[in-house]
Amino acid sequence: MTKGRILLKLVLDKIGLGDLPVGTFSKRLMLQKKVYLLQVTGLELGYHYNWYLRGPYCPALTRDAFTLKEELASGEQDYEDYALRQDALLRLRKAEEIWEVRGDISVEPEFWVELLASLHYLKHIAYWPGSNVTTEVVFAKLKEAKPQFADKPDLIERARRKLGEIGLWDHATLM
């Protein structure tokens, strides 16, 4: 088990995905978007994302998740000799604040993390030649790229505010 996959396992254990739920699309989506959001809060795991149909996507993360699942199934337990540092645990808590679906938001968790990650990616990672990347431009691009959000302007604004509350709207990362 590589150190990168050991780190991934420790992180996934802390965010409730330690069983490596790669068997269904919705679980893989949660894995992708939560790791993306973890990284933008400053917990660098070494994954690089590009835009895909459901927002930010990292093929290397998918490969690592499947490999890690196989390693665990074969009995490897190298990760048990390691623990996350305190600063990593603090960043994990910050990320959990982002994707937590509170009672006043009526939305499926998968939909919420997809929205948050997509908004952040479009604002800070996507390259738009000649564009002034205003909130309105990002919202329009989101609705164009992801029609499932087109009729949810209030939810989009809530997600933008959530990213703003923790410093991820006006700045790309917390670091």
134-173 residue pLDDT tens:
899 899 999 999 999 999 999 999 999 999 988 899 864 4
Q: Are the CB atoms for 166 and 94 separated by under 8 Å?
A: yes
Please say if the pLDDT value at position 127 is more than 80. Answer: no
Domain boundaries, the chain: 3-165
Confidence of residue 18 (pLDDT cuts 50, 70, 90): confident
Backbone angles phi, psi at 48, to 5 degrees: -115, 130
Give the CA angle between residues 32, 35, 37 to the nearest 5°. 105
Please say if the pLDDT value at position 130 is more than 70. Answer: no
pLDDT of residue 106: 83
